[in-house]
Structure 1
Amino acid sequence: MLIDTYGRTATDLRVSLTDRCNLRCTYCMPEEGLQWLAKPDLLTDDEIVRLIDVAARLLGIEEVRFTGGEPLLRPGLVGIVERVAALRPRPRMSLTTNGIGLRRTAAALKAAGLDRVNVSLDTLRPDVFKTLTRRDRHQDVLAGLAAASDAGLTPVKVNTVLMPGLNADEAPDLLAWAVEHAYELRFIEQMPLDAQHGWTRDGMVTAGDILASLRTRFDLTPQTPDDRGSAPAERWLVDGGPHKVGVIASVTRPFCGACDRTRLTADGQIRTCLFAREETDLRAALRGDATDEELAEMWRVAMWGKKAGAGLDDPTFVQPDRPMSAIGG
């Protein structure tokens, strides 16, 4: 098992398939993009499947989330999903995506074995979408969401980041829209993981701000802590249910004490936390003919050293060198 010195057990693996993205969200990367990883530095499809097998068979991983960058840009994605679905034990599989490519891939991903998707959408207004992402692809995301729902990749969850002066006033409208389409909306506080290192606490919309805005139109009933488990989102029933809304308050209401996640970057590095500044290189071991048990032991040692928390409230906190697109969400 992947146990740390604070008694937490990692059962959820986030696997980044690429650092590339076809959007340029202002809270993630500069308009010109970033210097992408070279292809030889990326894990191959075979290497990804082997490491997931090691994680599920030897380390107790029960759920795999494919992330990026934008994971739909990975040419072998459907094949990777199909091969992971054939593993025993078979982990549950989900995908976090910007949704642009879902219209053409949702059905194939479902047939391959993907269980569900999280789609990022920050606004209902096409002009604001273009400002936030620097791309005119709003309709593509909406079409991707519909395709995911039609394919049975449910529950379809929508991830939203609110930014002051752009979409901070849209929380109630977004929730009404999500309820209408039977999507589960999750607001995420902006985190210090932008490539520009421009994040400031004063410049973010907090969980408290979001909930206050939602309550101007909806009655929110909090779920009990037991219902939350290790999930990053605090969830509320909307107007008595059955629809729910979640808030991931990584900055103002950290949930590190219940964290059950471990992360694998697209270039084969183990990270114990989104905000970790240390990594463990499994790619070199893989390509150096390490056995499955040797890889598993490296992973165990890495997780044993996991820190108690992300440290965002520590005055000495330093943002990771790698941005979110290179770490994997």
Structure 2
Amino acid sequence: MGEALRDGFGRVHRSLRVSVTDRCNLRCRYCMPAEGMEWIPRADLLTDDEIARLVRLFASMGIAAVRVTGGEPLVRPGLAGLVRRMAGTPGIAEVSLTTNGVLLADAIDDLVAAGLARVNVSIDSLDPERFARITRRDDLGRALAGLAACERHPGLAPLKVNAVAMRGVSEPDVLPLAEAARTRPWIVRFIEVMPLDAPREWTRDLVLSGGELRAMIGARWPLVPAAPTRASATGTRWRFADGAGEMEFVASVTEPFCATCDRLRLTADGRLRTCLFAEEETDLLGPMRAGAGDGELAAIARAAVARKGPGHGMADPAWTYAGRPMSRIGG
């Protein structure tokens, strides 16, 4: 099982995103409907022991970084204990978390003590009314309190703030968020809106591109490109020319980074996805509960990685997506 997870295009996979729940305490417009969301039955969700076993298995095949996602991962009870098990897995060098931050202030101390190394907090607007309009919840204050609590842990630096950009919605938020990247200890990451919403309302016209965002910000505060922190980074790095801070732009739609992708995703119900936009999923939970050994599970995972395509294909105007929404995949 020790051989690296290499696909047919020579990409070696070192990063695993583990979704621990599909449930969430927000209802962001680009992700979920206002009401009526159908949740995965709890009996069909991976248990802590099953997650820990799969993380050990993937670590034995070269996975070194685990990112905990959801849904909103902090709604899962006992998350700190699960993080501790992941962080203590031989071969795992880093465990990170993507969260909306609403429950973070009360949880971060225990998470850091358990071994959490990095945090990304999703905040699409710094204006309370606009935040509430986008998320359908009046929780900006709690999310900002979560970020403030993270700032008290120097080991988590740099903190990253994720902001999904949507044409016709996000324009008023661009400069305030960019200014926060200059004045707060945050790296703000603008993320192009992706076709992963449960209501299936995404169109290409909604995409406020990374190039457009950089032009908007650069007209106020000039930006200069910076070298990526690693070859497989999802976001391009840009520094403010006056040295005041930096930003990242995750342009999955208009500037895909498929050629250097080293990421896999494990859904909350135990499916392996080799691409965020792939409609194919490989069941690991079923075989595991049927008694499959680690060798058999590793063979299933390796076969799935071998089938990984060269890219998501969105450059094709006829491309469509009919797979599961983001909340059921893991961010």
Q: Could you say which TM-score interval applies, normalised by the shorter chain?
A: over 0.9
Give the 3-state SS of the residue equivalent to 2:152 in structure 1.
Answer: helix
1:51 CA drift (Å)? 0.2
* Equivalence for 1:174: 177
1:36 aligns with 2:39: yes
1:91 CA drift (Å)? 3.1
1:15 aligns with 2:8: no
Paired AA for residue 311 in structure 2:
G
Contact map agreement 1:84 1:91 (CA 8 A) in 2: no
1:206 CA drift (Å)? 1.0
Q: Deviations over 1:167-194 (max 9, x none)?
A: 3132122111132111011000000111
* Equivalence for 1:2: 5
Tell me the distance in 1 between the aligned counterparts of 2:221 and 2:87: 39
1:196 CA drift (Å)? 1.1
Tell me the distance in 2 between the aligned counterparts of 1:328 and 1:189: 16
Paired AA for residue 295 in structure 1:
L
Q: Deviations over 1:30-87 (max 9, x none)?
A: 100510011110000000011001111x210010000000000110211101111221
Unaligned runs of 5+ in 2: none
Task: Kindly report structure 1 stretches of 4+ aligned residues shifted beyond 6 Å.
Answer: none
* Equivalence for 1:124: 126
Tell me the distance in 2 between the aligned counterparts of 1:80 and 1:242: 37
Give the 3-state SS of the residue equivalent to 1:314 in structure 2.
Answer: coil
1:316 CA drift (Å)? 3.6
Paired AA for residue 323 in structure 2:
D
Q: CA RMSD in A?
A: 1.3
Unaligned runs of 5+ in 1: none
Paired AA for residue 303 in structure 1:
V
Tell me the distance in 2 between the aligned counterparts of 1:146 and 1:162: 23
Tell me the distance in 1 between the aligned counterparts of 2:317 and 2:181: 37
* Equivalence for 1:218: 221
What does residue range 1-329 of structure 1 map to in structure 2 within 5 Å?
Answer: 1-56=4-59, 58-152=60-154, 153-224=156-227, 227-241=229-243, 243-329=245-331
Tell me the distance in 2 between the aligned counterparts of 1:144 and 1:33: 28
Paired AA for residue 140 in structure 1:
R
Tell me the distance in 1 between the aligned counterparts of 2:324 and 2:226: 34
Report the identity percentage.
50
What TM-score, normalized to structure 2? Answer: 0.96
Aligned length: 327
1:317 CA drift (Å)? 1.8
Contact map agreement 2:66 2:92 (CA 8 A) in 1: no
1:237 CA drift (Å)? 1.2
Tell me the distance in 1 between the aligned counterparts of 2:204 and 2:230: 26
Tell me the distance in 1 between the aligned counterparts of 2:243 and 2:70: 32
Contact map agreement 1:11 1:63 (CA 8 A) in 2: yes
What TM-score, normalized to structure 1? Answer: 0.96
Tell me the distance in 1 between the aligned counterparts of 2:107 and 2:19: 18
Contact map agreement 1:171 1:214 (CA 8 A) in 2: yes
Give the 3-state SS of the residue equivalent to 1:184 in structure 2.
Answer: strand
Q: Deviations over 1:250-294 (max 9, x none)?
A: 000111000000110000000010111111100011111111121
Contact map agreement 2:99 2:121 (CA 8 A) in 1: yes
Contact map agreement 2:86 2:92 (CA 8 A) in 1: yes
Give the 3-state SS of the residue equivalent to 1:161 in structure 2.
Answer: strand
Paired AA for residue 266 in structure 1:
A
Identify which range, 125-134 or 148-157, moves more after superposition. Answer: 148-157
1:305 CA drift (Å)? 0.3
1:228 CA drift (Å)? 4.7
